Amino acid sequence: MAKNDLSELYVYGSALIARALSIKYLYGDEGLQSVVREMVKRGYDGPLDLEHIKSQRKYPFEYSHLSLEVYRDLFGEEKMLSMARKAFHIMETLGKHVHIPKNPEYLFKNANVLWSSLYAFGYITGEMTGEKEGYLRGKDVCVTPLFCKYITYRFLGMMESINVTNPQIEHTKCQLKGDEISEWYIVWQ
């Protein structure tokens, strides 16, 4: 994939639905509508309500990225990253998330299955390197700096959702910085 060529990237509707439901959960209908209104002002031409988004259909990545930009601009980057971190918990609370066994081995072993249920680009591999540590490695997943930050916090939230104690994440390599792969080192107690 050429750097900054986002036109060939797609997300599944499930990623858009999860983001919209997370915004609605945190800010109510008015918060979600304010994001949608701003997206339309910025040129969004996709489905405008949750009923019209199909979970298994592919949508342009630009839809997903625009929603992140708008969320950041309306609520601040810290709140956007907090939402990313809480997304797994929110979806589980709403009963909208596929049940994920509460063990890290499962998450690391099935990292790409979880990734590819949301994103139709790139891939993730997981490797546990100790009893309470491991790496997630991705190819063509950090496609913009904002999305890279967002998924880093999603990975941290994923670990928190399975109730490991004090997970910490370090983004050790990034394709956006010229590395061959993107990599995250995760450790917990």
Q: Are residues 85 and 110 in the same domain?
A: no
Q: Per the domain annotation, does 49 fall within a domain?
A: yes
Q: Which of 93, 124, 139 is the last residue of a domain?
A: 93
CA angle 5/11/14 to nearest 5° reads: 165
Predicted structure pTM score: 0.89
Cα–Cα distance measured from residue 68 to residue 51, given in angstroms and rounded to the nearest whole number? 20
Which residue, of 59, 93, 127, is where some domain finishes?
93
Q: How far apart are CA 59 and CA 66, in angstroms?
A: 12
Read off the pLDDT band of 36 (50, 70, 90). Answer: very high
Residue 4 has pLDDT above 60, yes or no: no
Q: How far is 166 from 188, CA to CA, in rounded Å?
A: 5
Q: Do residue 122 and residue 88 come from a single domain?
A: no
Task: Evaluate if residue 184 carries a pLDDT over 90.
Answer: yes
- Identify whether residues 86 and 126 lie together within a single domain: no
Query: In the predicted model, is pLDDT for residue 1 greater than 70?
Result: no
Distance CA 134, CA 84 (A): 20
Query: Which residue, of 73, 93, 113, is where some domain finishes?
Result: 93
Q: Is residue 14 part of a domain?
A: yes
- The answer as to whether 4 is a domain residue is no
Q: Specify the number of domains making up the chain.
A: 2
Q: What is the pLDDT of residues 64-112, one digit of tens each?
A: 999 999 999 999 999 999 999 988 888 777 776 666 777 899 999 999 9
DSSP conformation class of 131? T
Q: What is the mean pLDDT of residues 9-29?
A: 91
User: Is the confidence at residue 55, as pLDDT, over 90?
Assistant: no
Q: Within a domain: residue 28? A: yes
Domain membership of residue 78 as a residue range: 10-93
pLDDT value of position 11: 94
* Maximum Cα interatomic distance, the chain, rounded to a whole number of Å: 49
- 3-class secondary-structure state, position 86: helix
Query: What's the pLDDT tens digit per position in 126-183?
Result: 999 999 999 999 999 999 999 999 999 999 998 998 878 999 999 999 999 999 999 9
Q: Specify the pLDDT at position 2.
A: 43
